Structure 1
Amino acid sequence: MLSKKRVFAIVLILFVLLLLYAGEYFSKEIVSFRVRSFAEDQARSKIKNMKEIGLPEPENLRFQNGSISLQSWFFKNPKRKKCGVVLLHGHTGTRWGILKYAPLFWKRGCSLFAYDARHHGESNGDYGTFGYYEKTDLDRAVDYFSEISGIPEEQIGVLGESYGAATSIQLADVRKELAFVIAESSYKDMRSVIEKRAVELYGFPILIVSPIAFQIAEIKAKFHVSETAPVRSAAKAEFPILLIHSKTDELTPYEHSVEIFEAIPGNRKSIFITEWGAPHSRSINTNYAEVEKKVDAFVKEFAPKEFQ
């Protein structure tokens, strides 16, 4: 008959193995999550074709950031103004899903550049790191966009949604020169937003597993969760930032954007908390006119004259 100590040891070993298994499983959900196909994202966006939103067919281009190859669209505006905007899609999406913002700047005569983030769409990459490496991809995207368009980097703005919004704010870690950032529905840091969604899906016991899962994810994707925090990056921002967030966002509480706003130094910043019941990243879907009005006011006050 087994002694109590041996039984306890066996139970403890089984519990540890269970935690490791659960941590390994959850780590996959964190950094190697399933993404939507291009066709799925097109259907979800409800934009059937480019012409529907006033855009021409884009030039399909690939650019590199180290070993990562990123698929992109370049929309060259026929007005040839020296202004441009990089558009970044949300978590699990593709560049098709960010096109809803394109008319805001196409009407101004600005050229546009949209690309699939690493581990998304038609780009490669085994892992998504919530901005840790994506900010360097964005930094390279701004350089590349400037090279192919002839638009100076300081006359290029960035507009991101959700995952893309968080990436755009973290660009402050690696770049000073930029026209502006517009961030819709950003999270303040990677850990808090993932743990919130995990609790909603699996209940509070998941918090026992999450520290192990984060550590495994860090080893796999070779990054640091604690350094993936737009709220910390915002404190370094030297470019104007507009934050947009729905008060009824069911995935990322609007307070995340409030904290980011408070962290941004100086007064070249603005925040727009929408109050018409929009879901996560859907403020512009549900009230285009009001979002357009706020963006126009922000651009008029803070953007370079080329955007006017």
Structure 2
Amino acid sequence: MFENYCRQIMQPNRVKFNQSDLECGFPRQDFKLQGIQCTLYKCKITTQSCVLYLHGYNGSRLEIVPYASIILQSGVDLCTFDFQAAGQSDGDFVTFGLNEQLNVILLVDYLSSKYQNIILWGRSMGATTALMYAIKYQNITCIILDSPFYTLDDVILNLIKQKLHTPNLINKGLLEILKRQIQQLYNFSISSVKLPQILNSNCPMLLLASKFDTLIPYHHFTNIFHSYQGQKHIINLYNNHNELRSKDILSTAIGFIQSNITNTIQNNPSNRFIQDFQKHSYIPTGIKIKSKIMRNQSAVNPQKNSAILQKNRALLQLSNID
């Protein structure tokens, strides 16, 4: 029984999709780097800035599609990829950020030859992975962290508590059994997935956090915010973990990006993408996004966040962000 639970944790079902599901109304280029499936969307201007989006656990490149057009309309390009063992990428099991950092290193290195500004935008496991990268490397412009976790032990313990409704003593015992089984099956330690006590980075950070997140307890977000040593800002959401983010939230995140990038628009006729377009490297747009994208995520009432976002925007203006 425990072996099956371990496999569910380490080998979540992959999201299945067709390449046409990646359409968002902008030109895109699909490519593969060392077994990692990637997609690069091109905005309609010449830009030196690109957002690299890191999806969450049990996610894929599809996660960003509902938000892609809004991001691209702001004048930055957008790159996303399937983490190892997710979507259409190679790999046997996830490591919740440890080995996924290598995927980020690969993509940042690839994008650095094309862009002056690279922005990491991660959600859940992707947000934790982005933070792991940011405290080790200083070659990104800024980071947006949507619902990162501080320690994996605590997240799994919270899941056990929610599913079984058993006392903490029993929950901790079950966690230890799971950890031993996973160590034996995958030679992987759950306890190794944790952030350091001091998050030493000079990269500007925007943290999106919700007290209504039932998967990751709110204290993870406050711990990350207080431990982060660089310029930092936090926006409180009113969504559960897997709910879609409102346009107001996206606008705030885009404002944060714009305040940190330089040389956003460069009208350079010798832009590197001209040859790509001439060679038809980018896939034509026009296919409607299918409704199955994010089918497991519930819609959010945009008005729910409106008043809060107006307040937060005012605070951001005082901080010279928006």
1:245 and 1:209 mapped to 2: Cα distance? 28
Larger Rg: 1
Give yes or no for the alignment of 1:306 onto 2:263: yes
Q: Which residue of 1 aligns with 2:220?
A: 256
Structure 1 vs Structure 2: percent identity of aligned residues? 24
Is 1:245–1:283's contact at 8 Å kept on the other side of the alignment?
no
Q: TM-score, with normalisation over the residues of structure 2?
A: 0.73
SS at match of 1:102: helix
1:282 to 231, 235, 243: 243
Is 2:159–2:215's contact at 8 Å kept on the other side of the alignment?
yes
How many Å apart are 1:306 and its aligned residue?
A: 3.1
Q: Which residue of 2 aligns with 1:93?
A: 59
Name stretches of at least 5 consecutive residues in structure 1 with no aligned partner: 1-20
2:186 and 2:178 mapped to 1: Cα distance? 12
Deviates more, 1:211-220 or 1:72-81: 211-220
Is 1:139–1:174's contact at 8 Å kept on the other side of the alignment?
no
Q: Which residue of 2 aligns with 1:55?
A: 26
1:234 and 1:181 mapped to 2: Cα distance? 17
1:234 and 1:156 mapped to 2: Cα distance? 24
Residues 2-34 of structure 1: CA deviation (Å, up to 9, x unaligned): xxxxxxxxxxxxxxxxxxx63x33322321222
Q: Which residue of 2 aligns with 1:83?
A: 49
Give yes or no for the alignment of 1:138 onto 2:75: no
Inter-CA distance 233–93: structure 2 relative to 1 (3 Å threshold) = farther
Residues 179-230 of structure 1: CA deviation (Å, up to 9, x unaligned): 1110111111111111111221234334323213213323444444333124
Higher relative contact order (CA 8 A, sep 6+): 2
Inter-CA distance 126–233: structure 2 relative to 1 (3 Å threshold) = farther
Number of aligned residue pairs: 262
How many Å apart are 1:104 and its aligned residue?
A: 4.3
Inter-CA distance 253–103: structure 2 relative to 1 (3 Å threshold) = farther
Inter-CA distance 242–221: structure 2 relative to 1 (3 Å threshold) = farther
Name stretches of at least 5 consecutive residues in structure 2 with no aligned partner: 266-322
Q: TM-score, with normalisation over the residues of structure 1?
A: 0.77
Is 1:74–1:112's contact at 8 Å kept on the other side of the alignment?
yes
Is 1:85–1:159's contact at 8 Å kept on the other side of the alignment?
yes
Inter-CA distance 295–70: structure 2 relative to 1 (3 Å threshold) = same
**What pairs with 1:183-194 in structure 2 (closer than 5 Å)?**
183-194=145-156
Q: Which residue of 1 aligns with 2:297?
A: none
User: 1:74 is aligned with what amino acid?
Assistant: L
User: 2:109 is aligned with what amino acid?
Assistant: D
2:4 to 25, 48, 57: 25
1:35 and 1:234 mapped to 2: Cα distance? 34
1:105 and 1:175 mapped to 2: Cα distance? 24
Instruction: Please state which structure has a larger fraction of its residues in helix.
Output: 1
Displaced runs of 4 or more, over 4 A: none
User: 1:215 is aligned with what amino acid?
Assistant: R
Indicate the RMSD between aligned Cα atoms, in angstroms. Answer: 2.5
